[in-house]
Structure 1
Amino acid sequence: MTTTISLDKIEQSVLASIEAANVNCLKNGVGTSDWTTSFKKALCSVGTQFGFSTCASGVDDAESEWLYDVTWYEYDQKDRLVSIPFAAEIEWRHGGLHGVKFDFEKLVQSTADHKVMIFEAKDVAEAKAWTSELKRYVHCYRPKMTQDRYFFLSYDWESNEIFHDQLLR
């Protein structure tokens, strides 16, 4: 069963942070590599605000990239990993939907509480179509966690805005 849900506090913060980073990137006319780094910094900042340690390449205040483009994690007092509450993948248009799918499959098998896929689409129609296809991939994957929560963010280069959608399975 698929349920569309209201954004929780983490998703609200992620969306606001990515939208602000997007506006800044547009204003400064940066390329996709700098855009990716800006989005990673935004996601790591949100993770830190929620009290998590973060991993992402190119982000000074984070550990180096581990497992996903951006990972939030927690260790206990004895330095044992206790959770990965957030995993994000960022994929630009280079490989089309196939490239997005390749990165998204990492999230489908993740046990993270929040699984975030950020990708680029030429317009809102393509963003919606690709998001629908990614949701189908979720339903095809057999191992299911107790509650899988997905958050899709797509940069629409026609309107220069961020389209978002979510899925709770």
Structure 2
Amino acid sequence: MTEATTVDIRNISYVGADGAEHTLAEFGDKAVLVVNVASKCGLTPQYEQLEQLQRSYGDRGLQVVGFPCNQFMGQEPGSMDEILDYCAVTWGVSFPIADKIKVNGSHAAPLYKALKKAKNAEGAKGPVMWNFEKFLVAPDGTVHRFRPQTKPDAPEIIAAIEASLPA
């Protein structure tokens, strides 16, 4: 399992696909799996596993949230309408998709500036490596970080989710 890091992020705002400001605190005591997503990436099939996590654990206190990002080889070039349509039609995504963001660099979204302080299983923190990097934010603010190649249904992610679900 990843080394847990506590980062105060639940009240940092981000813009949703609806154009309104939101925070992770809106999900109450749910564990939130934050994932930077892209439609034209070799890892895009992870949408299917993310949706399965939402369906399997949503009633137990998990919320998946996707953050489209075009910073990695332009693999999320579409408009928000195109992205939302693609996610719904191709992958049956029911979890919220936020507005497009930057996850790295000086213009990174504040939420991701905070998330990048969390360490992964190897103890590394810092820039997001690629599309589909995952951050599990527990209700107490503990963050578990998983690199892009770690599939959403990997045992270490499932264990972290189950340990983070509200009682």
Relative contact order, CA 8 A, sep 6+: which one is greater?
A: 2
TM-score (norm 1): 0.32
Q: Which has the higher helix share?
A: 1
- Higher strand proportion (structure 1 or 2): 1
